[in-house]
Structure formats: C-alpha cells, structure tokens
Amino acid sequence: MTTSPVIITVAITGAVPKKADSPAVPTQPTEQIESTHEAYEAGASLVHIHVRNKDESSSSDAALFAEVQAGVRKHCPGMIVQFSTGGRGRSQNERASSLVHRPDMASLATGSVNFATQIYENTPQLIDGMATTMRDLGVKPEIEVFDLAMLYNAKALVDRGLVKPPAHVQFVLGIPNALPARRQVLDFLLSELKDIMPDATWTAAGVGRHQLEVNRWCMELGGHVRTGLEDNLRFDKTRLAKSNAELVARVADICGEYGRRPATRSEARQILGLAAAP
Ligand code: ZN
C-alpha cells in the first residue's frame, strides 16, 4: 500500500450533450468556473475542460477556453488547467487552436478508436502535429489511451522527442467499442507501462457506471484518479450526481481507505513536473 498523494482530476463538462444531460453539467463559462471552484474546494487539483460553443459566429472555441482558464486561474489558485483537444469532426487546426493560450496541460489521444456511434479519428500526422505544437508551447500532454496500441504510440513519441518525458498517461476504460473496465485490463496496461516507460505517471478514467470502481483500482495501485460529470452523471444507482464537487468529495473521502490523501495543488504540480502556478 502506498501513502502517496492522489491527484484528483475533475472532468467538468463533456464534449457533447449526453442523452439525458443533467442540469448539473456546467456548459457556460461562468457555470464552468463556478463548478470548477466548488470541485477545487472539495479536493480536485486538476480540471479537464471542454467548451460548448453554441454560437460559433460570435465566439471561437479558443476564446471560450481562454475565458474559462482565466476564471479558474483567478478563483482556484494553483489548480492545473487541462484543455481537451478532442475531435467532434474538427480539423487539426481547430482542435489545436486553444493551445496558444498555454494551459498547463492538454489531452493527446495517440491513435484512433471506435466510440459508441462514431470513429474518434487521430491520424499519425495529426498526432505528430498536435504533439509538436504542445511541445513547442510548453503544454504538457496527458496521453489518452483508449486502446492498447496507443500506449506504444506514446512511447514512440517520447523516443522521437515529440513528448518530453516523463509522460503522463490516462487509461480510459468503459467506453463502448473501446477498452472494457476490467481489472485484468488495467493490470496488463500498467505492467506494460512500467516496462516501457517506468518513469511515467498515470491515471485512469472509468466511464459511466464504472467510474467509482476504476477510482478505487487507481488508488489501490498507486495511480491518480479522474471523476466528474463528463464521464458519469450518476452518484449511485438511485440518483443523479448533484454536482462535480459531489463526485470529487466522494473520491476524496475514500482516499483514506487506501492509505492515501488528495494531493495539494503544489504537490500535483510537482508530481507532474509542471511549473509553479502562473
Ligand atoms: Zn474530455
């Protein structure tokens, strides 16, 4: 059992509305900043952000990202800001457009994968381009591993100098058509990670009903955790989560069962090799 601090990531808002998007999901920048602040007070040290752009004619995704980041930096000192660079049919330029605002981190999927009803397409050229942009802007990637090959692709990016080591890797478990949320799968992924990138830090996200179970595996195995309404709208079988903060508090509460505690913002920055808060 480890006593190391746990970085709690809160993924406050998904890319696209879910079937029954809960009113608890923050979609406007002011709501997103408020929800992040509540999650920060509950113990989150990293926020993963998508923006929902209703009117692309008046404001760009990049402008919305900048607005949310500015609010988070003001109200949540030291919290690590991570932008999503997810697809939704956008071009590489559109997906990378927010990076000029230099968040601490950004997501980087290192391969393509089927989701429930679509292909999440990340060509080798796009991955190289996004990794290069992040490297040149000093934005640390969170490598998103949705399928096995993506782990080895990440190692190749490190070897080629496109991702600065130590890498930070997130295993995403429980998305239909991608990796299932099975303990043996995580065990295997971790044994491979430790073999090919022993200095890497890691976390895992369990999607939907798997969220809490995967949180527990991560705490037991010495990893970091991700929670939030992007991945899961339910607190338990009987009710919807009230807020991102409620999901963060649940995870913070059970850290002690594994001899761990939530990382402070400065500890989280140190663990991930990030600069002190801007
Ligand atoms: Zn996301």
Tens of pLDDT, residues 5-55: 999 999 999 887 665 567 899 999 999 999 999 999 999 999 999 998 876
Place of tokens 């509460």: 253
- Cα(149) to ligand 1 centroid in Å equals 20
Which range of residues forms the domain containing residue 180?
Answer: 4-272
Q: Is residue 226 part of a domain?
A: yes
Backbone angles phi, psi at 245, to 5 degrees: -60, -35
Asked whether the predicted pLDDT for residue 188 surpasses 90, the reply is yes
The 8 Å CB, 24+ separation contacts for 128-136 are 128/157, 128/162, 129/92, 129/96, 130/85, 130/92, 130/95, 130/96, 131/157, 131/162, 131/163, 132/162, 133/96, 133/99, 134/99, 134/106, 134/108, 134/163, 135/161, 135/162, 135/163, 135/164
User: Above 80 in pLDDT, residue 140?
Assistant: yes
Q: Is residue 265 part of a domain?
A: yes
Whether residue 259 lies inside any domain: the answer is yes
Neighbours of 226 (CB within 10 A): 29
242 DSSP assignment: S
The tokens of 80 are what? 């690590």
Percent pLDDT > 90 in the chain is: 86
What is the pLDDT at residue 16? Answer: 74
CATH of the domain at 105: 3.20.20.70
Ligand 1 centroid–CA 14 distance in Å is: 6
Q: Is residue 75 part of a domain?
A: yes
Q: Please name the residues in contact with 58: beta carbons below 8 A apart, sequence gap of 6 or more.
A: none
Q: Look at residue 22 in the predicted model and tell me its pLDDT.
A: 78
| 85 CA distance to ligand 1 middle (Å) | 8
CA pair distance 69, 160, nearest whole angstrom = 30
pTM of the model: 0.96
> Distance, CA 206 to ligand 1 centroid (Å)?
12
Is 278 a member of any domain?
A: no
Structural domains of the chain, count: 1
Q: Could you list which residues have their CB under 5 Å from ion ligand 1?
A: 84
DSSP 274: P
Is the residue at 277 inside a domain? no
